[in-house]
Structures are given as structure tokens and as C-alpha cells.
Amino acid sequence: MFQNIQNEKRVQLTDFLPTTLKEVRQRGWDYLDVILFSGDAYVDHPSFGAAVIGRILEAEGYRVGIVPQPDWHGDFRDFKKLGRPRLFFGIAPGCMDSMVNKYTANRRLRSEDAYSPDGRHDMRPEYPTIVYSQILKQIYPDVPVVLGGIEASLRRLTHYDYWKDTLKPCILKESGGDLIIYGMGELPMIALCQLLEDKVLHHEPDAFVETADFLNIVSKFPVSQTVTMVSENEVPGGITEDDIVLHSHEDCLRNRKHYAENFRHIEEESNRLHAQRILQPLGKNYVVVNPPYPPLTTEQIDHSFDLPYTRLPHPKYRGKRIPAYEMIKFSVNIHRGCFGGCAFCTISAHQGKFIMSRSKESIIREVKAVTKMPDFRGYLSDLGGPSANMYGMQGRNRDICARCKRPSCISPAVCPNLNTDHTQLLDVYRAVDALPGMKKSFIGSGVRYDLLLHKSKDEQANKSAQEYTKELILRHVSGRLKVAPEHTSDRVLHIMRKPSFQLFYEFKRIFEKINKEAGLKQQIIPYFISSHPGCTEEDMAELAALTKEMDFHLEQVQDFTPTPMTVSTETWYSGYHPYTLEAVYSAQTPQQKLRQRMFFFWYKPEERAKIQAELRRMNRPDLIQKLYGGLLERASMPASNPQRKKRKEREDKPYSFNPNFSKNNKRRR
């Protein structure tokens, strides 16, 4: 046994999925059915995808090994150390897209890799799905390779790659992999393993699946929620009237409007209860996207979360900090899916729009496990999900949902069929807070305030939303509540599929009223995005003026980052909105993006001259007056600083443009 430094809980090495041949032998195994290669460090926790897939297969009786962050240099010994599996190799590239994890929107290296020990940057390659697959195919050409995780899931068809600034085909083409499992992989993984056992191995422990047999079987018996690449005459069942045939990859390279047009079908079918099969020509082949499984039932999602996770990093990381684990180790995820449909977000593309909620009993079991951790101090960092307050929500009439193609249930308006009752969620919060050892449960996930302010015909739903709002603010905020209006321009917000900024005004008023009545001094922290499709410099200037008027010095801000398979990315790259095919302006160059971003920081002295010059160019002296006509507060200087008093005295007079300011400022820098 070993003692884990992080929480001093004693567990056995065999409590983890094996990562070495020695650990395989310690379990008494002489073979493995599936070997997973992960781009993340191995943390045996339900928030880490590789652990979930490994545990779900283990529960079905399969022997699973995992190789976390294999060394892709030199002799590839990490790819050989567990030998060949009976069924296939699985690629789990990471909880985040590898390029988003590594680079900022400006293509600069991030300060650390949150999913690697000690935040190291050298533990995974760029595009690990491609790198790992190509290495495995080089060493074991006859062993099937199955791609999964968000990286492959969102690259299952022609997609724009922001970091290479090019259109790329289905990732099966470049990686050499044999099949993609897209979305949340529990059900298709189980189905695939059972299919191979039944049709190829006939449950013989000494038999192995070879690539040719694998491809033959998955073509004859297509597994839902998988992607294959076949020749035209090998398309299962042939091409039928029920199939959606997209513009070919080659056509997309020639015609950006056709590329944009493809995406509407991709998104709609990703969010339907009864989707159609999608086909896309690629060279002499067709990419075949089989429809997804229905959303997990409560029993199914409970099963996934109730598996025997140790909730710890593997002992090989003893003494090393894994930033992502530190962030979530005292948090509990209560549901999957998001029906917000935000244009820039990949959650619905990967998890779908239908909410899959755990039972209160399953949630309580996990919270109890957290409270027993030796370093738990009574504070749950997050009791949430993709959107904190969508738990338990679904359409009242499921038949209406079955016919629906809308990617969002709340944009451009809340669907009248959506049940927005927060009662179930309040019940969960109160049950968690009543547990022994629990001092406070915080809601760290994003809250949809448009759901809280929505006026339904159901008075019980309206009453529960008001009750939830008050309880959230009084009991579940750690001093600062983060919400995401994203912008102030209703035109830009419409493209983002976000509600009018007027709703943020209303929510802020309620937040401040409840705080005042309770004698609290909590803050509301808004998130904003610059350079989103449809956003101009003038929109950002008006955002700066409005947020200054509301007394915000913005902190939670970012440039729009184009990631595969979002409406915003397809609009940004193609220049056309996929649903209307109308032309949409986007800031493309680094200079255009920086000119938008600087308006977030109107209060910084070093940005003042540039912002004023830009506003004069726009012929917006009214915004110069709004931003700089009165006092210019220096947020970076403490109130006790004597320099600040002198600065305030200088700035008590209305600001007038100083023609020497730019020159003087440059000299100071």
C-alpha cells in the first residue's frame, strides 16, 4: 500500500486501473481487452474521461489498462509496454481540446498545462489523437484503433483548424484510426466491445481482433454514435433518402458558403432525439456518422458516477500537483448536457442539449465520499454542471422534443414546452447542506440568469426561480458570483444566442437588493468576449462605456477562440452564418482583435491614448466623454497610496485631450 500525500488516504495500487505490466500482473491478469492512451495525467475521478471509460468497461467485465501521457519520442517504449489488447486500442486525448489547452486565442503558450503533473507543457504533443494513432498503427498495424474524447468528437467531419489556419478533413483521414466514438462514450464503448466479443472473438480469451475483421463487423453492424470512413459501395445499407449527404470535403475547400451550409445539418442532428445519419464524401470515400444514442437515463448516469473511483491521481504522481485535479477534487457534477446552445460553446456538440440528471441519492453518495477526504474542510467548491441551474429540466411534452431541431431551448426565447421549475435543484442543495461535516456548498458553475428571470405560465416554476435566486445569492456564493452576459450589444448577443443585456441589468438589480437586505457585500463578476463574429470595434467601445457606467473594471474577459464544430467558428472562418447564409463581419487579424480587446481595459493608463485615438477615428466623441470625461480611477493603485490623492486632484477637472499625452506615455513605457 502507499500513502497519498494529497489527502493521506491509504489505498492499494490495485484500486487503480493498471498502467504498467507489473500492475496488470498484480491484478492476476495475463491479458488486457482494451488499452487506453490518455493525453492527460491519470486521475481516477468521474470528471476525467479516460477514468470513466476505463471504469465503465471494467464494470462490464472487461480488462482495461491505461497509459497516461506516453512519451511519443524515441523508441516508443510506452506504446509497447502493455502489449496488444484483445479488442482494440482507445485514444483518449484529454478532457480539453489539446490546442485550446495549450494555446491562448492569440496563439501564445498558456502558463501551464492544467492536466499534467506540475502543469508541465512537455507531457503531451499537439493533436495527441493524431500522434498516438499514427505511432500505434506503425507498431501494431493489425490492431484496431478507436478514437474518442472531445478532440476527435469535434473533428469528425470537415472542420476549421484555427491553429493551422486551414480546413481539415475528418480526423480518421490524418490519424489512420479506424473508428470514432463521438460525444459521451459510455454506451457506444460498451456496445462496440460486446459486438466484437459476439461477432469476432466468440468470447474466446486467447483470440484477438484484427483490423480487417474490425472494419468488416462495424460496417455490417453499425454502432450508434460512431464514425467510420468507407468507400461508396461499402456504406452500410447504401445511401438512402433518409441520409443527409453533406457537401464534400473538397467542395468545402473551394466554397466557404457550402462549408457553412454543412454545419446547420451537423448541429441539428447532434441535438435531435431521433437523428438522421450523416454522410460526407471525402476523396474516393464517405465519412459515415451514425446517429447518437438517446440521452442517458438517470439510472445509466448514476451507474457511471457510482463506479469505484478512488477520486485520486495515480500514485506515480506522488508529490506532484495536477492543477485540474486541485480545482475539482472538492466539487460534484450533478448533470450532463446543456440546452443553452451558445454559438461559441462546444458543450452541446459533445454532450448534447438534453439534460441528463443524476438522482439525488447518487449525488449525496458522492458528496459523502468528498466529506470523508482527510483534507476536506467543509466547503464544496462546486455543486454544478455545464450550466448550474439546468438540473432536472426537460420538455413537458416529450413528443414535441422528439420533433424539435432547435439547437437551443432558450434562444432566441425560452421554449414554452420547457419546464423551468427549480424545485428539484433546491431539494438537492438543501440535502447536501444538511450532511454532517458540510459547512457550505458553493456554485462555481455558470448560472443562466435568463432562466431565473423567465416568466412562465407555470406559477410554481416562477416561484421556484425566485426562491432559487435568493438561496443561491445568500447561501452558495463565495463572495463573488460569476455570470456570463458575454456582450452588451443585442445584435451581437443574438448571433451568440445569448439573451438581451437588459436581463443582466435586471439580475444585477436583484442581486444587489438581496445583498443589501441581508447586509452582505458580495460582488457580481460578468464574463465578456471580444472579437466574436458580428462584433465591431464600435460595439466594444459601447461595451466599455456601459460597463464603466455600471462601475465594472472588467477582469473575466477573453478574445473569441475559434474551436471546431461551433456556429461561431464556422461563421468566423466562412464569413457566412450557417443558418441564414448571410455575410457576417468578423475581426480576423491580430491587429483587429487587439483593437477590440483594448476596450475591456479602458481604465488602464497605458490604453487611454490608443482608445481615444480609436474613438476619434470612429467619430464617437460621446464615448470619449463617457469614458474619460470625469474621474479616471486607477484600479491598480491602493486607496491609501498618496500618489492616488494627487492624481485625483489633477483629474477632478473635466478631461480634455492633451496632444502630448501619446508621446509622453510612449516615453514612460
Residue numbers belonging to the annotated binding site: 338, 342, 345
Spell out the residues 6+ positions from residue 91 whose beta carbon is closer than 8 angstroms to its own: 36, 37, 128, 129, 132, 133, 145, 146, 147, 148, 149, 152, 177
- Residue 419's H or E segment, with its range, is none
Spell out the residues 6+ positions from residue 427 whose beta carbon is closer than 8 angstroms to its own: 360
- Residue 286 CA, distance from chain mean position: 28
Closest CA relative to residue 32, chosen from 53, 61, 69:
61
Closest CA relative to residue 59, chosen from 309, 286, 283, 362:
309
**293 phi, psi to nearest 5 deg:** -65, 160
Peptide bond into 412 cis (omega under 30): yes
| Angle formed at CA 130 by CA 128 and CA 135, multiple of 5 degrees | 90
Q: What does the DSSP assignment read for 102-130?
A: HB-TTSPBPS--TTSGGG-STTS-SSHHH
Burial bucket for residue 630 (CB in 10 Å: 0-12, 13-18, 19+): middle
Q: Largest Cα–Cα distance in the chain?
A: 87
Grid cell 490519424 is found at 175
- Residue 148's H or E segment, with its range, is none
Percentages helix, strand, coil for the chain, rounded to the nearest 5? 40, 15, 45
**DSSP structure class, residue 639:** T
**DSSP structure class, residue 500:** -
> Which residue type sits at 559?
D
Distance CA 316, CA 67 (A): 12
**274 phi, psi to nearest 5 deg:** -130, 85
Burial code of 119-157, b = ≥16 C-beta within 10 A, e = fewer?
beeebbbebbbbbbbbbbbeebeebbbbbbbbbbbbbbb
Spell out the residues 6+ positions from residue 355 whose beta carbon is closer than 8 angstroms to its own: 295, 335, 336, 337, 338, 339, 390, 391, 392, 393, 394
Q: What does the DSSP assignment read for 571-629?
A: HHHHSB-TTT--B-----SHHHHHHHHGGGGTTSHHHHHHHHHHHHHTT-HHHHHHHHS
Closest CA relative to residue 453, chosen from 509, 394, 523:
509
Closest CA relative to residue 263, chosen from 511, 607, 578:
578
Spell out the residues 6+ positions from residue 136 whose beta carbon is closer than 8 angstroms to its own: 37, 79, 89, 143, 145
Binding residues for [4Fe-4S] cluster, by number, are 338, 342, 345
> Which residue type sits at 571?
T
Check: CB of residue 17 under 8 Å from CB of residue 65.
yes
